[in-house]
Amino acid sequence: MGDSSEALPDPIADKSDDDDYVPPEAKTVEELMAEKDGEDEAMQRYKASLLKSAASAKTDDPRRVVITEMQVLFTDRDPIVFDLSNPEVLKNVTFVLKEGCQYKTQVGAPCNCGVLR
């Protein structure tokens, strides 16, 4: 065992080889759909399936992501689903998680204002 007084390396300060990464320029959904990937019909269908929610997003909402639903998923029973679109209803909602139960949480969030990077 090592000495507990040894300083652990700072993972944020650790400079790695990916420091020269430059993200691509931001594009709108329309620009992404207009790109013709070699007239590949399968690629166009794939892009349409990925970008359909972004194309139908509300453009008047300044938020990029709005969490609209939360689910608590259990291994041995049906999930509990919370509609987060109405905060007033949530004030009266309670649930109990028993100690030792196995669960996961899942959130639903449509993407507003284009594609997230």
Q: Which helix (H) or strand (E) holds 80?
A: strand 80-83
pLDDT digits (tens, 9 = 90+) for 28-70: 767 777 776 667 788 778 777 776 665 555 667 777 777 888 9
> Which residue ranges form the domains of the chain, and what is each CATH number?
17-108 (2.70.50.30)
pTM reported for the whole predicted model: 0.47
How many Å apart are CA 89 and CA 75, to the nearest integer?
Answer: 27
User: What pLDDT does 72 receive?
Assistant: 92
How many Å apart are CA 45 and CA 39, to the nearest integer?
Answer: 11
**What amino acid is encoded at 76 in this protein?**
D
